[in-house]
């Protein structure tokens, strides 16, 4: 039952971390798209000014004036779009950076926890093997001195592992 609860917590933590990364990436793309939109509007403005100048050169003043006004309006839109994108980036960049940093830290902690769990399982299997050999030795009737040394080594290993878990060094 304990392992299932740990697996659920681990799965939920991984899910939360993944979604935080998605949020950060989405906001980054959103602010970049605003900057790209502003640059696109500026390019339209430049093209309109160039067309206006062409019309002015061929003596079509009325059309040149209309395109010049349109170019100025588009340039205003471009500036507003760029300013809006910069403001959004400033508003979202700090909290998103904190979320992103937190998500990376959580991910690292989950990896460390998984590694500690694997180490714990390996050590547990090793101790079970020793215990099995001890029982086998007892059944074969080995000498009491060697048997007691082996039993004391197993006990020390178990005590050392127990003290690590109870002192909090092993986070699994």
Q: By three-state DSSP, how is residue 35 classified? A: helix
Rounded to a whole number of angstroms, the distance between the first and last alpha carbons of the chain is: 15
127-142 residue pLDDT tens? 999 888 888 887 887 5
54-76 residue pLDDT tens? 888 888 889 889 989 998 998 99
**Token couple for 59:** 């003596």
Predicted pLDDT of residue 76 = 93
30-45 residue pLDDT tens? 667 777 888 888 888 8
Predicted pLDDT of residue 92 = 74
Contact 134, 82 (CB under 8 A): no
Cα–Cα distance for residue pair 36/49, rounded to 1 Å = 20
pLDDT mean across residues, the chain: 77
Alpha helices, H only, the chain: 2-57, 61-140, 144-167
> Is the pLDDT confidence value at 145 over 60?
no
Global model pTM greater than 0.85: no
Predicted pLDDT of residue 154 = 76
> Is the pLDDT confidence value at 95 over 90?
no
Number of neighbouring beta carbons within 10 Å of residue 143: 9
Predicted pLDDT of residue 51 = 86
**C-alpha pair distances (Å), 61 with each of 17, 53, 75, 81:** 61, 9, 21, 30
């Amino acid at each position: 039952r304990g392992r299932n609860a740990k697996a659920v917590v681990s799965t939920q933590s991984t899910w939360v971390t993944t979604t935080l990364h998605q949020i950060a990436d989405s906001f980054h793309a959103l602010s970049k798209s605003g900057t790209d939109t502003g640059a696109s509007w500026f390019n339209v403005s430049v093209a309109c000014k160039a067309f206006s100048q062409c019309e002015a050169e061929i003596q079509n003043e009325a059309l040149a004036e209309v395109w010049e006004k349109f170019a100025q309006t588009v340039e205003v839109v471009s500036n507003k779009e760029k300013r809006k994108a910069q403001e959004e980036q400033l508003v979202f960049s700090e909290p998103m950076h904190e979320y992103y940093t937190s998500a990376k830290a959580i991910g690292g902690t989950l990896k460390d926890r998984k590694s500690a769990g694997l180490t714990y399982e390996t050590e547990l299997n090793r101790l079970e093997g020793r215990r099995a050999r001890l029982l086998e030795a007892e059944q074969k009737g080995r000498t009491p001195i060697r048997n007691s040394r082996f039993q004391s080594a197993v006990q020390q290993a178990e005590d050392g592992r127990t003290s690590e878990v109870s002192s909090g060094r092993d986070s699994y």
